[in-house]
């Protein structure tokens, strides 16, 4: 496994060196994450361990400047971050002598409860000077979460087929280059572009899972609806005059059955949302209430009473909690802050929505949000069925990093806390491995026949990294 990771590292360094020699062609790394120095200089594994069991953590020097030296002594200070240690003999600020063997430290501990754990290794030099040699962080998980893996994805973005810029294949490559594990293209009123990008990479050895999608705009309905994973396009059900007539008749039948509609709600618009979400569900997809507090033309795009009813009745399977469409709009009216506050308000009322974060990118290279706004799903795999189940079962969080600041996850507290650890200690290494794969996917989309062989070598490297980091 380490040999393949080494090959991948050489490819990444070669790509970066080439890009630096030609700065005009260097794509910006959009995720904003950086590998922490200790994680770059040392191989620390496993990083994720079972809670309430003993595990052995290894800290291995990778470079000469951080070699364990025989003339030095080493001490370890361990801290469970939550200070939960009811079954172990942990004492705060206690240092213990530890002896490296063959360039590595192996530390066995009972990892109590679900929490982060910190190991600070100090080096004591012959002249008695001390320095912090390495700081390692580990997370212990209960069995349900330990059995899952974190998958990063974005399923609301646009290509040049609607109001985006790049071709579908370029968008997909950029997704992997940004460290995403799954994506769906959702052009306005168009399902076919998402099928095009799926076909382009169907026979390619890539680890990005690509699914169908569409941004749906039913006639005379102000609500923007994302269809994720449906087996057919929703717009096609009312694209012609004859089909639209049939659609309106179906909506009218739904409207006729509605009772006790709150004041201020347009019954047709509400019935139209019921029709669209039912159609998406019928076709095996997930429906998402897009940017429900989007601010446009000095008003919210969706009337308040309609928004309130849609959220109260859980008409959509997903609430777009974090959206990256309009940075200027966020400066004017922080709609994401409103959506996060509304989410917590709904949870407090016992009406817990499933959540997602998306870039809503309209041009991946010009967007300040692409790669920094996404969803983390905790699932057994990146298949659509597993990802959909993770979202429906509230195992997803939404991530936002405004202008490249420290990414912040939002959603269920347990997952948000764990995601904070992953964003700092695991995802940066994962994303570096994804960078070269995404770059080669873009080359394939541009017609480069040599991309296949490189992608074949790179395939599986991120999964191998996770296998290396996850304990059993």
Report how far apart the first and last C-alpha atoms of the chain are (Å, whole number).
17
Q: Is 174 helix (H, G, I), strand (E, B) or coil?
A: helix
Contact 169/444 with Cβ under 8 angstroms?
Answer: yes
pLDDT of residue 405: 74
Contact 115/138 with Cβ under 8 angstroms?
Answer: no
- Adjacent-strand bridge partners of 73: 124
Contact 206/199 with Cβ under 8 angstroms?
Answer: no
pLDDT of residue 330: 76
pLDDT (tens digit per residue) in 377-388: 999 999 999 999
Mean pLDDT by 10 residues, the chain (472 residues): 47 41 39 88 98 97 94 96 88 92 93 97 96 97 98 98 97 97 98 98 97 98 98 98 98 96 97 98 98 91 97 97 83 89 96 97 92 96 98 98 85 98 96 96 97 97 97 88
Residues in Cβ contact with 329 at an 8 Å cutoff, skipping those fewer than 6 apart: 294, 295, 296, 335
Q: Is 1 helix (H, G, I), strand (E, B) or coil?
A: coil
Residue 311 and residue 308: Cα distance in Å, rounded?
5
Residue 401 and residue 279: Cα distance in Å, rounded?
33
Q: Evaluate whether 52-141 and 149-454 have a shared fold.
A: no
Residue 330 and residue 21: Cα distance in Å, rounded?
36
Q: Sketch the domain layout of the chain as residue ranges.
A: 52-141, 149-454
Q: Which residues of 242-265 are buried (b: 16+ CB within 10 A; e: fewer)?
A: eeeeebbebbeebbeeeeeeeeeb
Cis amide linkage into residue 46, ω under 30° from 0: yes
Contact 47/109 with Cβ under 8 angstroms?
Answer: no
pLDDT of residue 30: 53
CATH fold label, 52-141:
Immunoglobulin-like (2.60.40)
Residue 96 and residue 166: Cα distance in Å, rounded?
57
CATH fold label, 149-454:
TIM Barrel (3.20.20)
Single pTM value for the model: 0.92
Residue 224 and residue 144: Cα distance in Å, rounded?
35
Cα dist from 278 to 305, 312, 351, 397, whole Å = 21, 17, 20, 24
Q: Which residues of 128-151 are buried (b: 16+ CB within 10 A; e: fewer)?
A: eeeeebbbbbbbbbeeebbebbbb
Residues in Cβ contact with 326 at an 8 Å cutoff, skipping those fewer than 6 apart: 294
**Where would I find the beta strands (DSSP E) of 125-257?**
130-141, 149-154, 157-158, 182-184, 209-211, 213-216, 225-228
Q: Which residues of 449-467 are buried (b: 16+ CB within 10 A; e: fewer)?
A: eebeebbebbeebbbebee
pLDDT of residue 329: 75
Residue 74 and residue 68: Cα distance in Å, rounded?
9
Q: Which of 206, 198, 117 is nearest to 463 (CA)?
A: 206
């Amino acid at each position: 496994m380490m040999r393949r990771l080494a090959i991948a590292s050489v490819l990444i360094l070669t790509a970066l060196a080439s890009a630096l020699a030609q700065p005009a062609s260097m794509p910006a790394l959009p995720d904003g994450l950086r590998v922490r120095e200790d994680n770059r200089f040392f191989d620390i594994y496993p990083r994720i361990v079972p809670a309430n069991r003993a595990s052995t953590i290894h800290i291995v020097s990778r470079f000469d400047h951080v070699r364990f030296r025989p003339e030095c002594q080493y001490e370890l200070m361990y801290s469970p971050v939550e200070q939960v240690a009811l079954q172990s003999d942990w004492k705060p600020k206690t240092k213990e002598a530890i002896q490296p063997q063959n360039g590595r430290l192996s530390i066995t501990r009972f990892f109590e409860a679900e929490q982060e754990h910190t190991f600070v290794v100090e080096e004591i030099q012959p002249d008695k000077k001390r320095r912090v040699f390495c700081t390692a962080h580990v997370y212990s998980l209960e069995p349900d979460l330990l059995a899952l893996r974190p998958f990063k994805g974005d399923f609301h973005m646009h290509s040049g087929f609607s109001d985006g810029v790049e071709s579908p294949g370029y968008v997909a490559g950029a997704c992997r280059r940004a460290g995403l594990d799954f994506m769906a293209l959702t052009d306005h009123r168009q399902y076919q572009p998402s099928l095009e990008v799926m076909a382009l990479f169907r026979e390619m050895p890539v680890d990005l899972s690509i699914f169908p999608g569409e941004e749906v705009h039913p006639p005379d309905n102000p609500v923007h609806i994302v269809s994720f994973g449906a087996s057919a396009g929703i717009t096609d059900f009312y694209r012609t005059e004859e089909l639209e007539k049939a659609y309106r008749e179906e909506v009218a039948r739904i409207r006729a059955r509605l009772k006790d509609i709150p004041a201020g709600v347009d019954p047709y618009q509400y019935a139209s949302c019921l029709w669209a979400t039912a159609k998406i569900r019928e076709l095996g997809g997930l429906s998402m209430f897009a940017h429900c507090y989007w601010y446009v033309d000095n008003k919210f795009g969706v009337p308040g009473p309609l928004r309130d009813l849609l959220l109260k009745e859980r008409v959509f399977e997903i609430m777009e909690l974090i959206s990256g469409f309009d940075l200027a709009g966020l400066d004017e009216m922080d709609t994401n802050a409103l959506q996060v506050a509304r989410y917590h308000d709904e949870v407090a009322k016992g009406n817990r929505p499933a959540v997602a974060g998306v870039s809503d990118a309209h041009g991946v290279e010009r967007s300040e949000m692409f790669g920094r706004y996404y969803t983390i799903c905790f699932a057994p795999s990146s298949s659509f069925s597993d990802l959909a189940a993770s979202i429906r079962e509230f195992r997803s969080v939404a991530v936002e990093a405004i202008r490249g600041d420290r990414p912040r996850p939002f959603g269920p507290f347990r997952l948000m806390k764990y995601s904070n650890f992953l964003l700092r200690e695991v995802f940066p290494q994962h994303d570096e491995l994804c960078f070269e794969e995404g770059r080669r996917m873009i080359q394939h989309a541009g017609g480069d026949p040599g991309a296949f062989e490189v992608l074949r070598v790179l395939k599986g490297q991120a999964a191998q990294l996770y296998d290396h980091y996850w304990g059993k």
